[in-house]
Structure 1
């Protein structure tokens, strides 16, 4: 079911997450908009700390649209950045151009 949500585009990107939020808390919050079939919070592999963003997959496009239409989203003192996610997220910063000369 989670794969279907990803494939059909019923996924949203959630940014500016508090470091205390995990997948379960993300599911609890977004379930007010409809059935959540997948949540993912990304963590730094080296530090184990939250990278501050994640994804939520909904059973239906209607539920996803309800979540997108609600603005602002406020969770544990943070305003969340919520947007439709139709593909992969590119890493922010990092070594994207490492090794290229000027």
Structure 2
């Protein structure tokens, strides 16, 4: 599937979802909205920042400066409770998460502590 085919398939899927939700009002929707989230291809921090900056320009917005405190470079465009967000997670926070996740499964609570 080409990038163009995939893009058209995603757009059609979004339209089908909207039509389905409109036709089925008993089906709940998320109370806090919906985000379409795009991650750029993994690269150097500079490459990923440049890609988010490029997407921000296409969206007609600026990257969110608050996210950088957490190593997240992102741009967002909102349509009411629906948004499109492009997000790059830089190398340092990815490394911190990998270190934290490396302990996964090493500590198991007693069954009595879980209840």
Given the two structures, how large is their TM-score scaled by the length of structure 1? 0.32
Per residue, is there more strand in 1 or in 2?
1
| Higher RCO structure (Cα 8 Å, ≥6 apart) | 1
Larger radius of gyration between Structure 1 and Structure 2? 2
Given the two structures, how large is their TM-score scaled by the length of structure 2? 0.30
Per residue, is there more helix in 1 or in 2?
2
